[in-house]
Structure 1
Amino acid sequence: MAVPEVLDRIPLLSGMPRTVAELPGGLTNHNYKVTTPRGTYVVRVSASDGDLLAIDRDAEHACSLAAAEAGVGAPVHGYHPELGVLVVGFLPGRTFTEADLRDPANLPRVARACRRLHAGPRFVRDFDMFDIQRRYLAIVGDRGFRLPPRYLDFMPTVARIRKCLAVRDEGTVPCNNDLLPGNILDDGERLWLIDYEYAGNNDACFELGNIWSESDLPPGHLEELVTAYYGRRLRHKIARARLLGLMSKYGWTLWASIQDGANESIDFDFWSWGMEKYERAVTEFTGPDLADLMDEAARPD
């Protein structure tokens, strides 16, 4: 369905003058900035098989509402599942880049935004990368999608990581789980967190480790981010975030494999994107620090 036709079927946006501009960056959606006399909105149109990627559009809508209530997400103005459309308010500001996250001055700001989201209303579903990774692996096998070399060799190590993290499990909080730089907006005073496709109640250290992993930040930046989040340096939390950052790379690699095999509507080299993550994961799986990280994550400070 053409974009004008989609917009004509949304009561909030139909029957009035409007300007439409496509926004860059969506890997599972097409995003449009729509300006009308009533206001300016972002219309997100699904462009991928949500079931394959563990995206639940009803849950995304509910989590978006909760994030808005927490004061860290965009206001939600409409949800039209029959069109695959979510309408949220346009937040004026600048989209973060990896360079912004490499600036240590921004790490306390990111930590504050995460704490605000994590202190908000519980989400309607849970997110566990260990479970997601296994689900993705089954899909890759069933569909005959490409699997990186030696991928399965690291599954026993993943099981050991999961076991060690269970020792000091402190429960879950509502997490975005996908804080790429492009999902962080800076309005000049505060940061906003957008895009709740993968949102769910999760370990706070996954959120922090995923931020670190997605932007390939130095280890010292993760220490600063975790310390800013908890208000003091906690060795076991830093180790926990490092390990969950590794699981982020390992799991999202399969997300890329699925997108490479199944998504023909977005012009993007998903395989190369995923292999970059996988190669960094292999470096960590085979590096000298992994055993010490598991030991530190399981021990009290």
Structure 2
Amino acid sequence: MAVPEVLDRIPLLSGLPRSVEELPGGLTNHNYKVTTPSGEYVVRVWASDGALLAIDRDAEHANSIAAARAGVGAPVHAYLPELGVLVVGFLPGRTFTEADLRDPANLPRVAEACRRLHAGPRFVRDFDMFEVQRGYLAIVQERGYRLPAKYLDFMPAVAKIRKCLEKRDVGTVPCNNDLLPGNILDDGGRLRLIDYEYSGNNDACFELGNVWSESNLPLGHLEELVTAYYGRHLRHKIARARLLGLMSKYGWTLWASIQDGANESIDFDFWSWGMEKYERAVTEFTGSGLERVMDEAARAD
């Protein structure tokens, strides 16, 4: 369906003069900024139903509303699953880049935005990268999609990491779970967090470790981010975030494998994107420090 036809079927936007601008980014949606006399909106049109990628569109809608109530996400104006459309308010500001996250001055701001989201209303589902990764792996194997060389060799290490983290019951909070730089907006004051496709209640340290992982930040930046989030230097929390950041790389690698095999509607080199993450994960799996990090995550400071 052509974009003008989709917009005409959205009651909020139909029958109004409007301008439409396609927004960059978005690997599972096509995003458009629509300006009308009544306001500015972002129309997110699904590139797929998301089922293979463990995206629950109803949960995305509900969690987007919760994030808006927390004062972090964009206001939600319409949800039309029959059209594959979610309409949210356009948030003025600029999108973060990796360079922004490499500036230590921004790390306390990111931590503050995460704390606001995490203190907000509970989400309607949970997110556990260990379970998501296992689900992705089953899909890749069942459908014969490409699997990176020696990927399965690291599953025993993953089991050890999971067992290590389970020694502490840290509870869960509502997390975005996908804070790559493009999902962080700077309005000149506070930061806002967008895109709740993978949102769910999760360990806060996954959120922090995922920020570190997605932007390939130095280890010192992870320490600063975790310290800013908790208000003090906690070695076991830093280690926990580091392990979950590793799981982020390892798990999202298979997301890329699925996209590479199944998604023909978006022109993007998913395989190379995923392999970059995988190569960084391999470096950590095969390095000499993994056992020490697990030891620090399991014990009190």
TM-score calculated relative to the size of structure 1: 1.00
Residue 52 of structure 1 is matched in structure 2 by 52
Structure 1 segments (4+ residues) deviating >4 Å: none
Residue 206 of structure 2 is matched in structure 1 by 206
Residue 134 of structure 1 is matched in structure 2 by 134
Q: Which amino acid aligns with 2:199?
A: A
Contact (CA 8 Å) 2:222, 2:238: kept in 1 or not?
yes
Residue 236 of structure 1 is matched in structure 2 by 236
What per-residue deviation string (whole Å, max 9, x for no partner) do you get for residues 252-282 of structure 1? 0000000000000000000000000000000
Residue 215 of structure 2 is matched in structure 1 by 215
Residue 98 of structure 1 is matched in structure 2 by 98
In the alignment, the residues of structure 2 paired with residue 278 and residue 131 of structure 1 have an alpha-carbon distance, to the nearest angstrom, of 18
Q: Does 1:148 align with 2:148?
A: yes
Residue 89 of structure 1 is matched in structure 2 by 89
Contact (CA 8 Å) 2:74, 2:194: kept in 1 or not?
yes
Residue 22 of structure 1 is matched in structure 2 by 22
In the alignment, the residues of structure 1 paired with residue 162 and residue 29 of structure 2 have an alpha-carbon distance, to the nearest angstrom, of 32
In the alignment, the residues of structure 2 paired with residue 44 and residue 162 of structure 1 have an alpha-carbon distance, to the nearest angstrom, of 35
In the alignment, the residues of structure 2 paired with residue 262 and residue 8 of structure 1 have an alpha-carbon distance, to the nearest angstrom, of 29
Q: Secondary structure at the match of 1:52?
A: helix
Structure 1: which 5+ runs fail to align?
none
Q: Secondary structure at the match of 1:192?
A: strand
CA shift, 1:100, in A, is: 0.1
Q: Which amino acid aligns with 1:80?
A: L
Contact (CA 8 Å) 2:185, 2:193: kept in 1 or not?
yes
What per-residue deviation string (whole Å, max 9, x for no partner) do you get for residues 184-205 of structure 1? 0000011000000000000000
Q: Secondary structure at the match of 2:53?
A: coil
Q: Which amino acid aligns with 1:296?
A: E
Give the alignment of 1:277-292 within 5 angstroms.
Answer: 277-292=277-292
Q: Does 1:187 align with 2:187?
A: yes
- Cα RMSD of the aligned pairs, angstroms, is 0.4
Residue 66 of structure 2 is matched in structure 1 by 66
In the alignment, the residues of structure 2 paired with residue 127 and residue 259 of structure 1 have an alpha-carbon distance, to the nearest angstrom, of 20
In the alignment, the residues of structure 2 paired with residue 48 and residue 154 of structure 1 have an alpha-carbon distance, to the nearest angstrom, of 30
In the alignment, the residues of structure 1 paired with residue 164 and residue 19 of structure 2 have an alpha-carbon distance, to the nearest angstrom, of 53
Q: Which amino acid aligns with 2:101?
A: L
In the alignment, the residues of structure 2 paired with residue 4 and residue 296 of structure 1 have an alpha-carbon distance, to the nearest angstrom, of 55
In the alignment, the residues of structure 1 paired with residue 55 and residue 35 of structure 2 have an alpha-carbon distance, to the nearest angstrom, of 28
In the alignment, the residues of structure 2 paired with residue 52 and residue 202 of structure 1 have an alpha-carbon distance, to the nearest angstrom, of 20
Q: Secondary structure at the match of 2:27?
A: coil
In the alignment, the residues of structure 2 paired with residue 149 and residue 8 of structure 1 have an alpha-carbon distance, to the nearest angstrom, of 47
CA shift, 1:49, in A, is: 3.9
Q: Which amino acid aligns with 1:44?
A: R
In the alignment, the residues of structure 1 paired with residue 130 and residue 168 of structure 2 have an alpha-carbon distance, to the nearest angstrom, of 16
Q: Which amino acid aligns with 2:81?
A: P
In the alignment, the residues of structure 2 paired with residue 71 and residue 122 of structure 1 have an alpha-carbon distance, to the nearest angstrom, of 14
CA shift, 1:168, in A, is: 1.5
In the alignment, the residues of structure 1 paired with residue 218 and residue 54 of structure 2 have an alpha-carbon distance, to the nearest angstrom, of 29
In the alignment, the residues of structure 1 paired with residue 176 and residue 111 of structure 2 have an alpha-carbon distance, to the nearest angstrom, of 13
In the alignment, the residues of structure 2 paired with residue 12 and residue 294 of structure 1 have an alpha-carbon distance, to the nearest angstrom, of 51
CA shift, 1:48, in A, is: 2.4
Q: Which amino acid aligns with 1:233?
A: H
In the alignment, the residues of structure 2 paired with residue 48 and residue 2 of structure 1 have an alpha-carbon distance, to the nearest angstrom, of 15
In the alignment, the residues of structure 1 paired with residue 239 and residue 95 of structure 2 have an alpha-carbon distance, to the nearest angstrom, of 29
What per-residue deviation string (whole Å, max 9, x for no partner) do you get for residues 142-198 of structure 1? 110000000000000000000000111211000000000000000001100000000
In the alignment, the residues of structure 2 paired with residue 169 and residue 159 of structure 1 have an alpha-carbon distance, to the nearest angstrom, of 17
In the alignment, the residues of structure 2 paired with residue 237 and residue 268 of structure 1 have an alpha-carbon distance, to the nearest angstrom, of 35
In the alignment, the residues of structure 1 paired with residue 186 and residue 118 of structure 2 have an alpha-carbon distance, to the nearest angstrom, of 19
Residue 167 of structure 2 is matched in structure 1 by 167
Q: Which amino acid aligns with 1:273?
A: W
Q: Secondary structure at the match of 2:131?
A: helix
Q: Percent identity?
A: 87
In the alignment, the residues of structure 1 paired with residue 300 and residue 48 of structure 2 have an alpha-carbon distance, to the nearest angstrom, of 43
Contact (CA 8 Å) 2:70, 2:120: kept in 1 or not?
yes
CA shift, 1:23, in A, is: 0.1
What per-residue deviation string (whole Å, max 9, x for no partner) do you get for residues 40-79 of structure 1? 0000000024110000000000000000000000000000
